[in-house]
Amino acid sequence: MIRTIEWHDGSVRIIDQRELPGKTVFIDCQTYQQVAEGIRTLAVRGAPAIGVAGAMALVLAARGAVTDEREALMAVLKKAHAELAATRPTAVNLKWGLDRMLNLALGMKGDAGEMREALLSESLRIAQEDEELCRRIGNHGAALVPDGASILTHCNAGSLATAGYGTALGVIRSAHSAGKRIHVFVDETRPLLQGARLTAWELKEEGIPFTLITDNMAGYFMKKGDIHLVVTGTDRIAANGDAANKIGTYTVAILAKEHGIPFYIAAPYSTIDLSINSGDQICIEERCAEEVTTIGGVRVAPGDVRVANPAFDVTPHRYIHAIITDMGIIRPPFSEKLASTLVAQ
Ligand code: MRU
């Protein structure tokens, strides 16, 4: 399986997802600012993966601090936390990972050396846990996939978007390894083609049968009866079950409802944000115009055009059949069940 992110000899090693599938290039980040840049530019991407990257970046911040004095070290960590949290606002996992690290440091009594060691161990734990959570999501979700099913997915919620195994692709992987004969429809996912570049690459590596389609073909195949269920990842789930995910997911959810096809989202508990009541409170990241006016670096639009580029949209909970989590499958009414499941954990 592809190592998306790892601690490697004092640096944070990430696979540069901007280069995939053409080239396999690794970036060794020695400073937290380099990790921040990697997150901002999508060298590392996907909600759980940026949570792990943020956590490891704080280890770099602590190690790079030229002080052993507690208050000064905490100031460095808080500054790095703020800079990293600002890189991408939609996925809650980033803030979740950063908060977990900062809270550990705040609660510690030891000296600077002990703090640095504890931060490193915690970041490795977060990475290891994430992979385990994905495997649990996969096992729970596989039960929802009938033998012979054809599944549509959007964007990339695979190994590359997590510390390993994936969420939506974890469900697909688990169903495949359980011997179910499945087929996947992969939305290319404009503007940055995470489906065509990354999901198609992962499925090909795994030998899972798939067909790549452009985003505007989903309705056509649903109407023909070629798609039996949809499963995607998500970047943030509000207390009422509304879920943000890659732009275009909302359209897919509406299409699925129109055609009577179950629409599932898959995520670890770290993606659930009970601090917000609904998806209206989720900040949607707006990215640069060039991502829309160009494809693979080649300009496709005339110069000087007005462009909108929201990176995510929110699917209202009424379109979601179930949320597949590491804690099990959560069905509506989400406002009651999300809170009780999370508290029981
Ligand atoms: O902009 P990206 O590529 O980071 O967007 C990723 C997605 O929308 C994923 O579906 C989501 O983060 C879930 S990943 C398990």
Q: Residues 272-281: what's their mean pLDDT?
A: 98
Spatial CB neighbours of 337, under 8 Å, sequence gap ≥ 6: 330, 331
Determine whether 235 is an active site residue: yes
CA terminus-to-terminus distance, the chain: 29
pLDDT given for residue 245 in this prediction: 98
Q: Residues 288-312: what's their mean pLDDT?
A: 97
pLDDT digits 0-9 by tens, 108-128: 988 999 999 999 999 999 999
167 lines ligand 1 (CB under 6 A): yes
Task: Look at residue 1 and tell me whether its pLDDT is greater than 90.
Answer: no
341 lines ligand 1 (CB under 6 A): no
Return the bridge partners of 153, or none: 186
For residue 269 the two structure tokens come to 């508990």
State yes or no: cis peptide before 333, omega within 30 of 0.
Answer: yes
Q: How far is the CA of 18 from the centre of ligand 1 (A)?
A: 14
CB 152 within 8 A of CB 187: yes
pLDDT given for residue 98 in this prediction: 98
162 lines ligand 1 (CB under 6 A): yes
CB 169 within 8 A of CB 198: no
Q: Residues 72-98: what's their mean pLDDT?
A: 98
pLDDT digits 0-9 by tens, 4-60: 999 999 999 999 999 999 999 999 999 999 999 999 999 999 999 999 999 999 999
pLDDT given for residue 343 in this prediction: 85
* Complete DSSP assignment for 190-253: TTTTHIIIIIHHHHHHHT--EEEE-GGGHHHHHHTT---EEEE--SEEETTS-EEEETTHHHHH
Q: How far is the CA of 46 from the centre of ligand 1 (A)?
A: 4
127 lines ligand 1 (CB under 6 A): no
Question: Quick one: how far is CA 256 from the chain centroid?
Answer: 22
pLDDT digits 0-9 by tens, 168-227: 999 999 999 999 999 999 999 999 999 999 999 999 999 999 999 999 999 999 999 999
Q: Where are the beta strands (DSSP E) in the chain?
A: 5-8, 11-15, 26-29, 150-153, 183-187, 210-213, 229-232, 236-238, 243-246, 263-266, 272-273, 294-295, 298-299, 312-315, 322-325, 328-330
Q: What is the distance between the alpha carbons of residues 116 and 120, in angstroms, rounded to a whole number?
A: 6
Pairing of strands 150-153, 229-232: parallel
Is this prediction's pTM over 0.75?
Answer: yes
